[in-house]
Amino acid sequence: MPRVLLIGSGKRVVEAALPVFRRAPGYDIAGLASRTPKTITSEGDEFEVHGLDTLTRERLSEVDLVYMVVAKKAVPRVLRQLVETGADALDLLIETPVMLVRHLGHRKLAEAFRSTWVSEDCSTLPCLDAARDCVASGAIGALERATFDRSGYAYHGVAMVKTALGGGPIRRARQRSIPGGLRERRYVVADGREAIVRDPRDYALGTLTFHGSTGELSDRDGAEGLRLEAVTDGERCVAFRAGDARRELTEAEIELMGDRSEGVGVTAWMDGMKRVGFLKLAARIAAGQGAYPLSDAIEDSVVDYHLEKLGRYRSTPFTRPDAPLARFAFSALTRLTDR
């Protein structure tokens, strides 16, 4: 039974991590820690949060997995504390975007754990499971591209692109302003397929469309082709349907889905879908399969950074974050900014 220690005490812990780990089969919550000791309430129950100074080597020997969500600027400091007290015997699940780009020279701290994964729950949304099964059935032919209109954002949007297209790392990307006060990002993955993400994100208006060689799958009202939709029983979301494909939700997942928000498509259920996606990541870890890869999450944040600062990204030995030259450059940047 994995024993998980939660480091953090904010909204993400209260509204997602605690509800998920309390329902994740086989998990035991071994405690919570944060910069400031306190008591927090999640789903009507109180939880005691201890100070980070209680994380001794002996204390960490009692846990198997650390889930960490702290302020971005504090990530290197907390990672260093964990590494100095026995991280090599622990698995780490760290919140997106892992760390600030200027801190990527500290990446080795995140790599010092037995295994390190990222809690990118936009990669495991249940609606994407249904869409993937629909595409695999050949119902819309070969998947050629995807469009996320106000349904994806920043590095989360990059993760959704990779998940939807299944084409590996980002080859190139561009950003431009479009009418209506929107911004459009175009991504090309390693196998040449393309995705478009339009923001700002607005889950009340957001839609997802998958373009195939012979048809289309979408949750847009009035869209031609197959329909991607939530299946409800009264007020409860019990499944997602994409054409003839159906992703059933377990009772635990139905509880995590919660209530529907305002919206025209499946993104009206986005808050709940992310909790269900988090649960799937936890289940993968317990099964020995791991969660979202650290290298993918870092690439997502670096691509997003390039688009924000330069309006474009192209994978090269100087920009691809896993490449030796890029890692050397990030180390130099971190040394300068840490002064």
CB atoms within 10 A of CB 18: 21
Q: Are 165 and 242 in contact (CB under 8 A)?
A: no
- The terminus-to-terminus CA distance of the chain in angstroms comes to 43
Predicted structure pTM score: 0.96
Handedness of CA 47, 49, 54, 57 (dihedral sign): positive
Q: For residue 270, give every residue at least 6 positions away whose Cβ sits within 8 Å of its Cβ, in sequence order, or none.
A: 125, 151, 203, 206, 261, 263
When computed from its CA atoms, the radius of gyration of the chain, rounded to whole angstroms, is 20
CA distance readout (Å), 209 to 17, 127, 141, 225: 29, 12, 14, 10
Distance CA 18, CA 161 (A): 28
> Residue 224 is encoded by which pair of tokens?
């031609």
Q: What is the DSSP letter of 107?
A: H
Residues paired with 236 in a beta bridge:
233
Q: Are 217 and 209 in contact (CB under 8 A)?
A: yes
Q: Which residue bears the tokens 């048809």? A: 215
| The CATH fold of domain 123-286 | Dihydrodipicolinate Reductase; domain 2 (3.30.360)
pLDDT score for 102: 95
Domain boundaries, the chain: 3-121, 123-286
> Residue 154 is encoded by which pair of tokens?
């920043």
Q: Are 10 and 70 in contact (CB under 8 A)?
A: no
pLDDT score for 256: 98
Task: Please tell us whether the domain made up of 3-121 is placed in CATH 3.30.720.210.
Answer: no
> Residue 106 is encoded by which pair of tokens?
């500290």
Tens-digit pLDDT profile for residues 135-172: 999 999 999 999 999 999 999 999 999 999 987 899 99
Tens-digit pLDDT profile for residues 48-92: 999 999 999 999 999 999 999 999 999 999 999 999 998 889 999
Q: What is the pLDDT along the chain (339 residues), one digit of tens a residue?
A: 799 999 999 999 999 999 999 999 999 999 999 999 999 999 999 999 999 999 999 999 999 999 999 999 999 999 999 999 988 899 999 999 999 999 999 999 999 999 999 999 999 999 999 999 999 999 999 999 999 999 999 999 999 999 999 878 999 999 999 999 999 999 999 999 999 999 999 999 999 999 999 999 999 988 889 999 999 999 999 999 999 999 999 999 999 999 999 998 999 999 999 999 999 999 999 999 999 999 999 999 999 999 999 999 999 999 999 999 999 999 999 998 887
CB atoms within 10 A of CB 41: 10
Q: Are 81 and 301 in contact (CB under 8 A)?
A: no
> Residue 287 is encoded by which pair of tokens?
């099964």
The CA dihedral of 326, 101, 200, 210, to the nearest 10 degrees, is 40
pLDDT score for 1: 75
pLDDT score for 223: 87
The size of the chain, in residues, is 339
Count Cα neighbours of 203 within 13 Å in the Cβ-side half-sphere: 13
Distance CA 27, CA 18 (A): 11
pLDDT score for 87: 87
Q: Are 20 and 278 in contact (CB under 8 A)?
A: yes
Q: Are 134 and 242 in contact (CB under 8 A)?
A: yes
pLDDT score for 264: 87
